[in-house]
Amino acid sequence: MNTTITPTKKGTNWLHEMDFIGMHAVPFLAFFTHVTAFDWILCAVLYVVRMFFVTGGYHRYFSHRSYKTSRFFQFILACGAQSSFQKGVLWWAANHRVHHKHSDTPEDPHSAKIYGFWHAHIGWIMDKEHKETRYDLIKDMKHKELFWLNKYHFVPL
Ligand SMILES: [Zn+2]
């Protein structure tokens, strides 16, 4: 039985994504500047803190609603998650809900099985096909500050 699936991703608008690419390229300047031990420690600490906000914020709270918290801490979670520059929490949550609903099918925005490792890791964030926030998938999110943060997702960074 032939189970070949044709990917439907639309590709990347590289010019539109220069902020995202630039943010990831900036750390390479460390090779051309003086970097201290404090800088490396700060880098490691920020990595761990942002990973907490990505997994505890984007993923467990906004996508899966795995726990409840105050409106204030929800805002802190959103700002912390968005400081990783993976777009707005509402956009991220909607895409992640699609991922779980259609895992490893062409509708899955970040299936490594269908689109490959790089697309699953970072390409899905820049993919034109998933550019707009699917508000129909996040009707449980009502607070206006989240919609503002989602629109201006670059602000926390
Ligand atoms: Zn999940």
Quick one: pLDDT at residue 24?
83
The answer to whether 146 and 90 are in contact (CB under 8 A) is: yes
Distance (angstroms) between ligand 1 centre and the Cα of 39 equals 32
CB-based burial label for 75 (10 Å; 0-12, 13-18, 19+): middle
Quick one: pLDDT at residue 9?
63
Distance (angstroms) between ligand 1 centre and the Cα of 139 equals 18
Distance (angstroms) between ligand 1 centre and the Cα of 63 equals 7
Distance (angstroms) between ligand 1 centre and the Cα of 93 equals 9
Quick one: pLDDT at residue 5?
43
Task: Please name every residue paired with 12 in a beta bridge, in sequence order, or none if there are none.
Answer: 127
Quick one: pLDDT at residue 131?
82
Quick one: pLDDT at residue 152?
94
**Residues in the chain where the model's pLDDT stays below 50:** 1-7
Whole-angstrom distance, CA of residue 130 vs CA of residue 124: 7
Q: Which amino acid is at 107?
A: E
Q: Which residues of 117-134 are buried (b: 16+ CB within 10 A; e: fewer)?
A: eebbeebbbbbeebeebe
Distance (angstroms) between ligand 1 centre and the Cα of 134 equals 17
Distance (angstroms) between ligand 1 centre and the Cα of 104 equals 13
Distance (angstroms) between ligand 1 centre and the Cα of 59 equals 6
Distance (angstroms) between ligand 1 centre and the Cα of 154 equals 23
Extract the tokens encoding 133: 């926030």
